[in-house]
């Protein structure tokens, strides 16, 4: 076999080995995030299980939120949101003016308009999260469209736990390998 043909065979075999978990439904699954509300990059997804504060999760937006996101061009239909869990069942979450408060601490501010000057949804007051509710907020991203605008969501809208694998943490185009789970490493 010629060196060129051998290289081609090895490349095809390697590609098949990497893609096999996707075809068979076994092994790690991945999503690529292009939104700046969490670092851009590759994320592994795993079953939800119990959700805890600060977990990064994939969310299937329920209606009418999914329709609003699609109409505004924020997120295409059938694409998950990636958000942090700020609060779980029993926690009191408040929005006073534009400030989001949980655990007696201000976690961030909501904006009145998006980047195109369109008004953003608003809710006010305090709410104790019910047994099957979660409040999602990317507190490190001031422009994230999250619970600041849509309030609590049902826990059933969470489809997976999300693990950073290869991400651009600083937004400078330098991606860093972050996978701690051996199952996610090549």
pLDDT along the chain (186 residues), means of 10: 53 44 64 93 94 98 97 95 98 99 98 97 98 97 97 98 94 87 53
pLDDT at residue 118, rounded to an integer: 98
**pLDDT (0 to 100) of residue 144:** 96
pLDDT score at 179: 73
Whole-angstrom Cα distance, residue 154 to residue 33?
22
Q: Are 45 and 30 in contact (CB under 8 A)?
A: yes
Task: Count up the domains in the chain and report the number.
Answer: 1
Task: Please tell me what DSSP assigns to residue 132.
Answer: T
Quick check: is 22 in a domain?
no
Range of the domain at 39: 27-184
Decide: residue 82, CB within 10 A, 0-12 exposed, 13-18 middle, 19+ buried.
Answer: buried
Residue 27: its pLDDT value, please? 65
Residue 118 belongs to domain with CATH number: 2.10.109.10
4 assigned to some structural domain: no
The label of the residue with tokens 């330098």 reads 174
Q: Which residue has the tokens 């199952």?
A: 183
Residue 86 belongs to a domain:
yes
In a domain, 15, yes or no: no
Q: How far apart are CA 144 and CA 48, in angstroms?
A: 22
Q: What is the pLDDT of residue 36?
A: 85
* pLDDT the model gives residue 132: 96
């Amino acid at each position: 076999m010629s060196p060129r043909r051998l290289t081609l065979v090895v490349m095809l075999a390697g590609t098949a080995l990497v893609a096999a978990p996707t075809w068979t439904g076994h092994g790690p699954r991945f999503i690529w995030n292009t939104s700046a509300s969490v670092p851009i990059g590759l994320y592994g997804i795993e079953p939800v299980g119990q959700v805890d504060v600060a977990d990064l999760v994939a969310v299937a937006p329920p209606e009418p939120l999914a329709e609003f996101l699609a109409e505004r061009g924020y997120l295409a239909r059938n694409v998950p949101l990636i958000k942090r869990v700020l609060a779980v069942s029993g926690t009191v979450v408040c929005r006073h003016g534009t400030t989001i408060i949980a655990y007696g601490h201000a976690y961030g501010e909501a904006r009145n308009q998006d980047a195109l000057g369109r008004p953003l949804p608003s809710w006010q007051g305090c709410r104790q999260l019910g047994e099957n509710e979660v409040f999602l907020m990317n507190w490190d991203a001031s422009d994230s469209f999250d619970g600041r605008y849509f309030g609590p969501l049902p826990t059933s809208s969470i489809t997976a736990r999300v693990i950073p694998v290869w991400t651009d943490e600083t937004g400078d185009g330098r991606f860093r390998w972050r996978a701690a789970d051996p199952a996610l490493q090549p």
